[in-house]
Structure 1
């Protein structure tokens, strides 16, 4: 099959071919790293066993076999394989594909339409597949690196099964390296450490790994196995898969935030480094870390907010890469600080109460009385200046008179909130001793 594809591209059978093309699997059993889909009893294998291949969406990172699997599925199901790319195709191309599929069906042969980067089609174009999928004119296999639930129409998703492909793990990459060495009939001139480094450079992308292998085989060596530092000079490390506007962005910032909340400073530093390596805007990270200081630490260590704001100022002053260290320091501070979401929860409860109670007025003793008329109306009546009271606490109630007193802020017994909790308990006890006077203090009665 691979030779036919090569010739169809206008190249002779004996012409040089890339290693990745020469090692393209010829059967589903040769596909590595996707046993959860292709193993015995797994989804794709079950479809083929009962000869009922439904439309599917293959979701996974680059270089894990999406195109190869689609091609082999067509071969196994005895369907004509037709491939298009959503990047280069438009409505006219789709109409042509559907017309060819209709003509093919009249001869008794079905069509598997493989759409690479299917998420690049707009909503109207995606809807264009629906009648042809429903009628059985085509078996649609879409490939995407983006989360289908965000990028594909619900109507299309309801007619296709989403199957997730995994990035290739070390075991799968080892199989590819062994096949490459067998194909080239020579061993890769790498030390054990350099071989591990090579797999790390590929970052789970099998196609990229084989391209690196081809570069290594083309490099003259003096008989000594390459060490990791020499290997790095010969081949280029694969850029991490990270799209600042898509799901990868949200997954990584979620991992960073949850690592901080879970008091795991090492994991937090790792996710911070991953995002910076992927090109994330450090100021975006500064904003998120400031949020963590208020949401997850709050009054347990109020200094966290100051540290995080200082990190933002330091980054503004230094820029990258020097300013990145200030951001790392802030991440370490919030990850190791005592945790409390009491302030966050208290504010949410207060917001809910504010929405529910409408326009209740403050008690009169809490009102401002800058004019004689306002004083005559009782504004500020009953107010006691707290600094003149014992322990600088008069114990007045400042909730609206027509609203039951509520408790929003509940300090946790950690960090500085342990002391705050004691003070609140003391003040609440003093305030309760004045409760019979509440209506009087409010100007009622």
Structure 2
């Protein structure tokens, strides 16, 4: 397989998975469908296994690494502002698209048969805010509550900055754990071509087009909305504000976007996103160490902007409810400030629940969309990761931290695990 690039291996896995899934569906080959399901399930489980230590140490180290970056406060502020700006653009486009296509108009579904949804701790803004604060540190990790893990990482990272030299042993240990987890996770990512075949094959064998029929307009709307953000918004921002070639960017970023599509996990794609950002897009390593992990847990243009906006319009139309200008403004507000609720894991049910409850729409609408969620989640996650790659390039370009020679060079191969660098001695920031 080393004769083929990692990107080509992923593409081959995608093609093989579609073919096997189609065969299992058409000829009703139960054992093949089950095999594909188990292969995909094992791959996702391996990715999720690393989530708690990866997120915690990545966020802690990324915050602490700000001391190594000149103008750290300015860089962090610019990054967050770009996160908010791109989210606002994405949700605005999604609302406009929803008003044009009317995804729920004429759709007749048995709303009484909507699947029950467990919305405990995710139904209101108060639940969301209080849910950020863990009642038990151990529980936050054992239950893989990524939002709480991010909170703990930010707090301890800030405390490490405040304590200074005395906290160096903790920081060194966290860096070592992060390197170990990333190394092990890279081994899992190398299995992505096989995992891709299982995940895509399972989707084709299980769902086919049957479930998309009554929700076709909504499903197409989500894909079209995400593709507009991917292929129009991001390239425009890169060309106008980043003054770099969008084609070169996507050539460099493609392996991470492709893995995000099939794995449906921003956090699981994090090590590859980090490598692409530094080794292919030429973003300064110290700044990328902050921006990429933070983006992987809070930057969700697909799951938190495009999808909930279209889903809210769909649910309102299916249930015969009217949305006014104030409601659309609320959708935009929730999408821009609430994206951390998705927390980098597969699916966007928490974000959708938060949006529907804020608008006072029936939460049964979530249940109507659960059946096709895996299919929609692929393009949503690809959009998420693309946005997580775009923002560091824009900020690095504006701050003179983008190596254009690396950006424009032929893409570096990603077939081998990244070399482990010894932890640098922390230096106080000058600004």
Normalised TM-score (structure 2): 0.23
> Is the radius of gyration larger for structure 1 or structure 2?
1
More helix by share: 2
More strand by share: 1
Normalised TM-score (structure 1): 0.22
Higher relative contact order, structure no. (Cα contacts within 8 Å, ≥ 6 residues apart): 2
